[in-house]
Amino acid sequence: MKALVSEASGGPETLVMRDLPVPTAGAGEVLIRVRACGVNYPDALMIEDKYQFRPERPFAPGGEIAGDVLTVGAGVTEFAAGDRVIALVGHGGMAEQVVAKAPKCLKMPAAMPYDEAAALIFTYGTSYHALKQRAALKPGDTLLVLGAAGGVGLAAVELGVAMGARVLAAVSSEEKLALAKAHGATDGVIYPRGPFDKDGAKALADLFKNACGKRGADVVYDAVGGDYAEAALRAIAWEGRFLVVGFPAGIPRIPLNLALLKGCQIVGIFWGSWTERDPVANAENNRELIELYLAGRIKPHVSLRFPLADGGLAIQELPARRALGKVVVTID
C-alpha cells in the first residue's frame, strides 16, 4: 500500500511516498481503508520530533482518519467489514490503509461525508472537553477564543455558541475574523502577528480588554500561546477560567500574580490523556458531538483538500499560519 512517510526528522518537505506492506489487525484492532485524513498541528510537530510522542521511523503522519473497515481482529464485535468509521490512530493516517484500536473507532453517521468525518473528533473533541469538563462554560458566559479560525479554535467558536456563550474571536486577519463570525462569533479582534516589544504587548492586552468589556472574559480559550497568552489573561473576568490548549506561537511564561489579582484559574487541557483516563466520559462527549453535528449545530469547515502525495503541502498550511478551519488529505 502507498503511504506518505517520515524517514528522518524534518519539515513537511521531507515526507516521501513509499510502498509499505499492508498491516494486519491484531486482537482488539480493525484494519481500515483510509478515505480521508484530517491534518492537525501535532502532525507538523511529530515529523520534527517536537511532539509529546515520537513514533519509530519510518512512520506516516496523520492522527485522525475516516474510512471503511476491511477486516477486524480477534475479539472485535462492535465493528464489521464495510462499516464506515472515524478512527483516532495517533499517526499512520496518511496511508491507504491503517490499523486502529477498536475503542478508538466510532461509527460514522450515514449522512456524514468522509472529509468532514476526518475533521471532526480531534478538534471538536479537544474543544468540547476544554469548554465542558475543564471550563464549565455556562450560557451567558463571555468566551474569548484565540486563534479562532484554526482547527481547535473554530471548533471552540461553534461549541461555545452551541453552549449558549457570547463568543469573541481573536485572529490575525480580516479573512479569519469573517470565518469565525460566519461560524457564530458575535464579534472579535484582529491582533498583530508580532513579535511584540513591551509597548506592543501592552497594546495587545488593551485590544483584548476593549473587546471583552469591563467585566472581562469568563473563559479564555488559548490555542496560540506566545505573547498572546499573557495579554489575554489580563482581559479575564474575576473567577475566570484560562484554558491552556496549545502553543503555535511559543510556550509563554505567565506572571502568577495575575492569577491572584483576577481570582482566576489557569487550567491545563490534555485531551488525549483525558480520553485514556476517562473513556466513559469521552464516549459521552463523542456521542453528544455526533448529535450536535446531526442537528446542524456544528460542522467542520474543510477549507482545503490535498491528495496523499501532497500531504506535506497539507501539513505545511498549519505552521505557515494559513489554514482556515481544517485541511484534509483525501485518498481515492
Contacting residue, 245, 289, 315, 331, with ligand NAP by CB under 6 A: 245
Residue found under cell 470565518: 179
Nearer residue to ligand NAP within complex by CB, 97 or 275: 275
Q: Which segment (39-47, 82-90, 199-207, 305-313) binds ligand NAP by CB under 6 A? A: 39-47
Nearer residue to ligand NAP within complex by CB, 95 or 155: 155
Supply the minimum distance, in Å, between the C-beta of residue 243 and ligand NAP.
9
What's the chain look like in SS3? CEEEEECCCCCHHHCEEEECCCCCCCCCEEEEEEEEEECCHHHHHHCCCCCCCCCCCCECCCCEEEEEEEEECCCCCCCCCCCEEEEECCCCCCECEEEEEHHHEEECCCCCCHHHHCCCHHHHHHHHHHHHHHCCCCCCCEEEEECCCCHHHHHHHHHHHHCCCEEEEEECCHHHHHHHHHCCCCEEEECCCCCCCHHHHHHHHHHHHHHHCCCCEEEEEECCCHHHHHHHHCCEEEEEEEEECCCCCCCCCCCCHHHHHHCCEEEECCHHHHHHHCHHHHHHHHHHHHHHHHCCCCCCCEEEEEEHHHHHHHHHCCCCCCCCCEEEEECC
Supply the minimum distance, in Å, between the C-beta of residue 327 and ligand NAP.
8
Which residues lie closer than 8 Å to 51 by C-beta, 6 or more apart? 42, 45
For position 172 contacting ligand NAP by CB under 6 A, the verdict is yes
Site residue total, ligand NAP (CB under 6 A): 29
Supply the minimum distance, in Å, between the C-beta of residue 122 and ligand NAP.
6
Q: Which segment (13-21, 101-109, 160-168, 315-323) binds ligand NAP by CB under 6 A? A: 315-323
For position 247 contacting ligand NAP by CB under 6 A, the verdict is yes
Segment 112-171, which members bind ligand NAP (CB under 6 A)?
123, 126, 147, 149-153, 171
Q: Which segment (15-23, 71-79, 239-247, 259-267) binds ligand NAP by CB under 6 A? A: 239-247
Supply the minimum distance, in Å, between the C-beta of residue 319 and ligand NAP.
5
Supply the minimum distance, in Å, between the C-beta of residue 31 and ligand NAP.
26
Segment 194-233, which members bind ligand NAP (CB under 6 A)?
223-224
CA nearest neighbour of 208 among 229, 239, 185: 229
Contacting residue, 91, 176, 183, 262, with ligand NAP by CB under 6 A: 176
Please give the single-letter amino acid code of residue 241. R
Nearer residue to ligand NAP within complex by CB, 25 or 327: 327
Structure-block grid coordinates of residue 251: 510556550
**Contact characters 263-282, ligand NAP, x per CB under 6 A:** ------xxxx----------
Supply the minimum distance, in Å, between the C-beta of residue 155 and ligand NAP.
8
Residues within the interface to ligand NAP (CB under 6 A): 40-42, 123, 126, 147, 149-153, 171-172, 176, 223-224, 245-249, 269-272, 318-319, 321, 323
